[in-house]
Chains A and B, each alone.
Chain A
Amino acid sequence: MKVSLEFSGGAELLVDGQKNHDVTLPDKEDGSKWTVKDLLAWIKDNLIDERPELFVQGDTVRPGILVLINGTDWELMDGPEYELCEGDAFVFISTLHGG
């Protein structure tokens, strides 16, 4: 399944400084649908080289990182439980910066 990921607000620093990532996710072994929770684990394993704790905490994103799914706040879309659809666009914006 193909989805697009965008990292901004400093979150791109965790993924090689590259903002946009078009990725292809493999089918899950148990045949179940991909959730955002799975996607976060996949990002942690495949895109983030170091300090994954700056992005993921447990099953969700680190507090202070905003997530949008197809332009809508993920809090209105079941958050980590949202089931992915082909072509979905995810945006991760860090608000933890500056100083």
Chain B
Amino acid sequence: MKTILDIENLHASINDVNILKGVNLNIKAGEIHVIMGTNGAGKSTLASVIMGHPKYQVLDGSVYFNNENLLEMKVDERARAGVFLAMQYPSELPGVSNVQFIKSAINAKRDKDDQIKLLNFYRIFKEKANTMKISDDYTNRSVNEGYSGGEKKRNEIFQMLLLEPKLVILDEIDSGLDIDAIKVVGENVTNYFNEHIRDTAILIITHYPRILEYIKPDYVHVLHDGKIIKTGDFALAQKLEKDGYDWILQK
């Protein structure tokens, strides 16, 4: 399988504080990777650096996505190329309706003479809203405005389904979700992945293995002090849930 994401020796900082101190990670199409780690280990920073958040500075290393140098691309160029970050704290967009926002985002990926037809858009929008169990009044609501934490996370996955990315990064998508919502999110991500397995990969950042009962990972990595210090499979996530991080950090 071809490599989707290739990170080598990545160093990054925020406000002159070094957070990532040499991350190496290779993710191939059809693979699901998980990053776990203690608070402040650099998990969300890694996600933000891949997406291109302007407040982080890349000091060294490289990040390639489908053989393209991601670090030379703007945030919107990365997104249009196929990178999607489901954010830990999605922003609220007062006055911008979900329909307007998602339709504009879909059209941003298309040529000017190939913009999505309104009827076609509404058909797909409705279909995905049903699978995500999103209510009818959602269409004209402002993006994330007044949403609960769980609704925001559900909305992130809904956007993912409509934008059809090649690299899906889920940054603590399970925080704030109730048991039923975790199931809906987990099943939808898995279904999407299975439908696009040939050219898609997933990177999950989480503290808890519960979401992994629905999205089965191939690799679980432990990030500590800005570096990946251990890699295993789902059993590693289960052991971390049971025993915590001390046994790794003491080695």
A binds B: no
Chain A residues in the interface with B (C-beta under 8 A): none
Interface residues of B (CB under 8 A from A): none
